[in-house]
């Protein structure tokens, strides 16, 4: 009976934690980051606000876990597609960039997180940036750097432009309109043109850098 009771307690805890995380996402989508208050999160989750401190150590801990669960680069693994070491990760890099483009487009919560990160200084958002850099660094160190050698910094710069550009296009199409440089980013055809451009840039980088 004790084992069943313990198992039930664990399940209840996980369900409650998920309710809090879902509540953060719902508030982000409907009210923006300004609405992320302890009382509002607890009311939306339907769980006593004391549990935020019990499960997460406070709202900052809750935000840390929420951000980790939603950030694309903090959850990239090589399970879906093993890095092609012989070509310096060419196919892997392209696949990750294109997948990230679609992930952010489909995830309104992540778009709100990106906008929040640009507009406010907060420890949890700084951690998000640091996690992204740490995960990206492992890719550079073990896959990219052995291939490009002394030109790795040039590759980093090109990748920075591509990633930030994809972030911006997704947020722009979500907030201010879908047309950018004559391309309708809300359509499958328009987004496919962007993806082909990314593939072209990666190909050119690997061939000419």
| Interval 39-50: pLDDT, tens | 999 999 999 999
CATH code of domain 2-59: 1.10.10.60
Cross-strand partners of 183:
180
What's the number of CA atoms in the CB half-sphere (13 Å) around residue 145? Answer: 7
Q: Which residue do the tokens 């980093």 mark?
A: 156
99-152 tens-digit pLDDT: 999 998 988 888 888 887 777 777 767 777 777 777 778 778 888 888 899 999
Higher pLDDT pick, 77 / 85 = 85
Q: Mean pLDDT across the stretch 44-65?
A: 90
Residue 143 near residue 154 (C-beta atoms within 8 A)? no
With a pLDDT cut of 70, the percent of the chain lying above it is 89
Q: Please, what is the Cα angle at 131 between 17 and 108, to 5 degrees? A: 60
pLDDT of 36 strictly over 80: yes
pLDDT at 78: 45
């Amino acid at each position: 009976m004790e084992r069943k009771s313990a198992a039930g307690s664990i399940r209840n805890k996980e369900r409650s934690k998920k309710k809090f995380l879902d509540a953060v996402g719902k508030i982000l989508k409907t009210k923006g980051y300004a609405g992320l208050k302890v009382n509002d999160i607890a009311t939306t989750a339907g769980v006593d606000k004391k549990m935020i401190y019990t499960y997460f150590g406070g709202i900052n801990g809750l935000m840390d876990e929420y951000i980790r669960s939603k950030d694309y680069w903090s959850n990239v693994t090589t399970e879906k597609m093993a890095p092609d070491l012989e070509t310096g990760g060419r196919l892997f890099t392209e696949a990750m960039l294109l997948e990230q483009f679609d992930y952010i487009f489909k995830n309104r919560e992540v778009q709100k997180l990106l906008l929040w990160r640009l507009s406010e200084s907060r420890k949890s958002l700084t951690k998000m940036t640091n996690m992204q850099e740490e995960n990206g660094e492992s890719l550079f160190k073990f896959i990219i750097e052995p291939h490009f050698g002394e030109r790795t910094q040039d590759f980093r710069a090109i990748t920075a432009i591509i990633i930030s550009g994809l972030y911006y296009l997704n947020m722009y199409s979500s907030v201010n309109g879908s047309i950018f440089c004559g391309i309708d980013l809300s359509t499958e055809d328009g987004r496919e043109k962007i993806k082909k451009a990314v593939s072209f840039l990666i190909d050119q980088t690997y061939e000419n850098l």
